[in-house]
Structure 1
Amino acid sequence: MSRSRSPRRREPRREQRRPRSPERRRSRSPRTKRPLPSQVDAFKGTSDSPAPQKQKPNWRPSGLLAAASNTVSTSAGAVVLKYHEPPEGRKPASSKPWRLYVFKGEDILDELDLYLQSCWLFGREVSVCDYALEHPSCSKQHAVIQFRYIEKRNEFGDKVGKVKPYVIDLESANGTTVNNEKIPEGRYVELRDKDVIKFGHSTREYVLQLPPG
């Protein structure tokens, strides 16, 4: 079922037929069966009065600058992105070729090589999304599948890190489900092999799979 695909992600794919993830109970997958030195001293005057404290520069963007940094220019105008990758975002290793299969009923309509990118934005905004959702119940920027490097301590107290896939709903109008359970908005939910994702009221199923290696 594998097929080659260019790693470039500028053109979105179209359907054909980026905090700690919360603990949640897992349902069975529906498809399991198949500092610089201080400058205060340098600029002290000759008087005995203490020099005023210098104000430190604030390099954080103002509201307008923050909005501009989140904006992408397209032929249809400026689009404000709802999602940016977190610092722990990582591209998975080639030895972990995660894929996403798009089903309608028993038919496979499409296949995504998720391991080629660290995150995938799903939605109807084709100018910015990596994979276009055409169902009207889906939001323009609906959800993201994000690979994250997460560290945990083992039984010996050593830190062990792994890159794992997560899904986050971007406060979409009609939600995102994993194994028929609606996930919370704006929170990362860990994904596992053979999990089934649905967006909005679309009947298409997006099945996550890690091929055996």
Structure 2
Amino acid sequence: SQEVSFRGGHNASPGTDAVGPLVDKQKPNFAPTGLLAREANTVAGTAITLKYHEPAEARKPPSSSPWRLFIFKGADMLETIELSTQSCWLLGRAHEVADILLAHPSCSQQHAAIQFRYILKKVENEYGVQQRKGRVKPYIIDLESSNGTFLNGERLEGGRYVEIKDKDLLKFGGSEREYIVMLPPPD
């Protein structure tokens, strides 16, 4: 009858209808998507859409830890870059957006980023009281590149931050160039 089809079957329990369980409505999503997101990520005057944006914990490293990037090709040192001058360094072939140009054809337009991040951790003092201490540390993130980013010979998983330590060796794609991240020796 019409009444049964309107109210559901005789055996319908609360939270279901005659066909099956009720489905919650999808909540509205007001985050930028599609064309708006692409437009917001586009570099002015170019058709390049940025693949990477700095996280909320991004910080410029303190002058007390002057990280440097030494670029080698074989035994020849090509360049030294003072990493402590900014919080993020984009590496890639796209000269319009890359802070550090990777010239090898196996490297992606936007290949990887070196990001300094302020990381908090809980530390217990000698009295057993927990305190929060923070430090700015360098990280590398592969931006889903085609031919990979390598840290000390190990290929990194794309889209994940990996902490960089003093004297770590980075390689990008099939390039022979080696990038060594170092702190100066203590005085």
TM-score with structure 2 length normalisation?
0.79
1:168 aligns with 2:137: no
Distance 1:166 1:191 in 2: 5
SS at match of 2:84: helix
SS at match of 1:72: coil
Distance 1:70 1:152 in 2: 32
Structure 1 residue ranges without an equivalent (≥5): 1-56
SS at match of 1:80: coil
1:188 corresponds to? 161
Q: How far has the Cα of 1:115 moved from its partner? A: 0.3
Distance 2:124 2:160 in 1: 28
TM-score with structure 1 length normalisation?
0.70
1:127-172 alpha-carbon deviations (Å, 9 max, x no partner): 0110111100000000000000000011232101000000000000
Distance 1:183 1:153 in 2: 27
Letter in 1 for 2:69: L
Q: How far has the Cα of 1:91 moved from its partner? A: 0.2
SS at match of 2:64: coil
Q: How far has the Cα of 1:58 moved from its partner? A: 7.3
Letter in 2 for 1:140: Q
Structure 2 residue ranges without an equivalent (≥5): 1-27
Distance 2:115 2:170 in 1: 14
CA RMSD in angstroms, aligned pairs only? 1.4
Q: Which has the larger radius of gyration?
A: 2
1:116 aligns with 2:70: no
1:179 corresponds to? 152
Superposition pairs of residues 1-213 of structure 1, within 5 angstroms:
60-74=31-45, 77-156=46-125, 157-213=130-186
Letter in 1 for 2:58: G
Moved over 3 A (4+): 57-60
Distance 2:185 2:40 in 1: 40
Count of equivalent residues: 155
What percent identity do the matched residue pairs reach? 59
1:33-73 alpha-carbon deviations (Å, 9 max, x no partner): xxxxxxxxxxxxxxxxxxxxxxxx97633432211111112
1:31 corresponds to? none
Distance 1:196 1:168 in 2: 14
Distance 1:211 1:86 in 2: 27
